């Protein structure tokens, strides 16, 4: 049996995963909607959180191709193997998902996206929501709360940052900057 035929896109595409993080959610949505060649992979938790923050309809009406976490096999990630995507972005990403990534657990659409991007040697950019020891975050009701990030969560982020092919953004502005320079030939224009 031969290798599958590689699909060469006329334009580079990004596979963008969203997890159930509320922190950084709206800025990440704003950034991804600036990109033309992006498909969005949405975990079940992300769907719930997008609705809680009043952002789900905006995403659904964006005209982007949306992949929902509807089964165990995560079939949409097979496009990574056919050369359809040249980069993966997972933003924002929860500490729970970060812990799964570090430990090789691929039990939902977004963790499968991460795992298979690595197996295909597709560069991956992540923006963890728990990136600093202390920060303020907005609840779905718009209330500001202080978050004290656990050491284990920061350690897991540091671990991922040391992996070949994985880049960690520190905030939405850094994410945007890294997207501009993610590819050596600047294929991803904002």
pLDDT at 10: 53
Mean pLDDT of the chain: 91
Confidence of residue 189 (pLDDT cuts 50, 70, 90): low
pLDDT at 145: 97
Arithmetic mean of pLDDT, 148-153: 98
61-80 pLDDT, tens per residue?
999 999 999 987 788 999 99
Looking at the predicted structure, is the pLDDT value of residue 107 above 80?
A: yes
Q: What is the pTM of this model?
A: 0.90
pLDDT at 161: 97
pLDDT at 182: 67
Residues listed for the chain = 190
Provide the CA 4 distance to its chain's centre, in angstroms.
Answer: 26
Q: Name beta bridge partners: 126.
A: 90, 168
Express as a percent the part of the chain with pLDDT over 90: 84
3-52 pLDDT, tens per residue?
344 445 456 799 999 999 999 999 999 999 999 899 999 999 999 999 99
CATH of domain 14-181: 3.40.50.1950
Confidence of residue 181 (pLDDT cuts 50, 70, 90): confident
Looking from the CA of 126 toward its CB, the CA atoms found within 13 Å total 32
CA-CA-CA-CA torsion for 33, 36, 40, 45, nearest 10 degrees? Answer: 0
């Amino acid at each position: 049996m031969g290798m599958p035929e590689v699909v060469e896109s006329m334009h580079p595409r990004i596979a963008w995963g969203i997890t159930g993080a509320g922190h950084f959610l709206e800025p990440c949505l704003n950034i991804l909607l600036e990109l033309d060649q992006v498909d969005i992979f949405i975990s079940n938790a992300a769907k719930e959180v997008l609705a809680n923050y009043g952002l789900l309809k905006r995403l659904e009406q964006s005209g982007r191709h949306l992949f929902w976490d509807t089964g165990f096999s995560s079939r949409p990630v097979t496009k990574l193997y056919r050369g359809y995507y040249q980069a993966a972005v997972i933003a924002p990403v929860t500490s729970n998902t970060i812990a799964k990534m570090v430990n090789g657990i691929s039990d939902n659409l977004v963790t499968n996206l991460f795992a298979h991007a690595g197996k295909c040697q597709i560069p991956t950019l992540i923006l963890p929501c728990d990136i600093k020891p202390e920060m303020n975050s907005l609840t779905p009701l718009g209330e500001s709360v202080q978050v004290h990030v656990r050491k284990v969560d920061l350690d897991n982020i540091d671990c991922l940052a040391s992996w070949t092919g994985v880049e960690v953004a520190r905030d939405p502005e850094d994410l945007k900057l890294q997207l501009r320079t993610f590819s050596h030939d600047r294929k991803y224009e904002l």
